[in-house]
Amino acid sequence: MTALSISEPGRDCPLCPRLHDFIAEWRQREPSWFNAPVPTFLPPDGDDAVRLLIVGLAPGLRGANRTGRPFTGDYAGDLLYSTLISHGFARGEFKARPDDGLELVGTAITNAVRCVPPENKPVGAEIATCRTFLVPTIARFPNLRAVLALGSIAHQSTVRALGGRVAAYPFKHGGQLPAGGITLFSSYHCSRYNTNTGVLTEAMFVSVFREIAAFLRK
């Protein structure tokens, strides 16, 4: 079985009953929405082109859970994709819908938890269970050099997916550490809450991508 075949959960993945039931409820309420595990967003050149993997927390209810593409349909995507475009990691115009024609460049985007959790809060068991997909997602990219984890939960799950101990890789905004054969970068999550409260400014977010771009040019 290849990394590709096990890196994406099926549409009716039953491994996390709470999340499965939550999605089933929203399929009844909003049948036109995606309402399923959100797949990894890939560049058109495929897995071999990926040198940077971005790992978020989980799909937003009215964002990726509605649209089926990571960080599409909510504020976090506005900031993320504009920053990706300005640093050459994406091209086109982001219009917050999956058919907007936006393309990633050498970059893939996924989530530590693929299904939308109630109140945007996955529990520990769900994070651990979904890591069975994060591990092969990382492994499917043979030319991967960097992973950017958005937020402490994504950071911790990525560290574990890379075979490291969380205590040895503490989360820090702007962090840059070698881990599991790649370099792990970390940023506060680009959520509206973090930007509204000043935890994360646009300048802080841009600086992380500036460092990643410089690293990948080496």
Quote the pLDDT of residue 180: 86
β-sheet bridge partners, residue 108: 53
Whether 38 contacts 60, CB under 8 Å: no
Residues 170 and 100: their CA atoms lie apart, in Å, by 37
Percent residues over pLDDT 70 in the chain:
98
Q: Domain 38-217 is in which class? A: alpha beta
Q: Give the Å distances, CA to CA, from 131 to 9, 114, 154, 187, 195.
A: 11, 10, 10, 20, 27
Neighbouring residues of 158: CB distance < 8 A, sequence distance ≥ 6: 55, 112, 134, 138, 147, 149, 184
**pLDDT at 21 > cutoff 90:** yes
Is 6 buried (19+), middle (13-18) or exposed (0-12) by CB count in 10 A?
middle
Kindly report the pTM of this predicted structure.
0.96
Judge whether residue 1 has pLDDT over 50: no
What is the pLDDT confidence band of residue 4, given thresholds at 50, 70 and 90? low
Query: Taking 70 as the threshold, does the pLDDT of residue 2 lie above it?
Result: no
pLDDT 10s digits, 151-188: 999 999 999 999 999 999 999 999 999 998 999 999 99
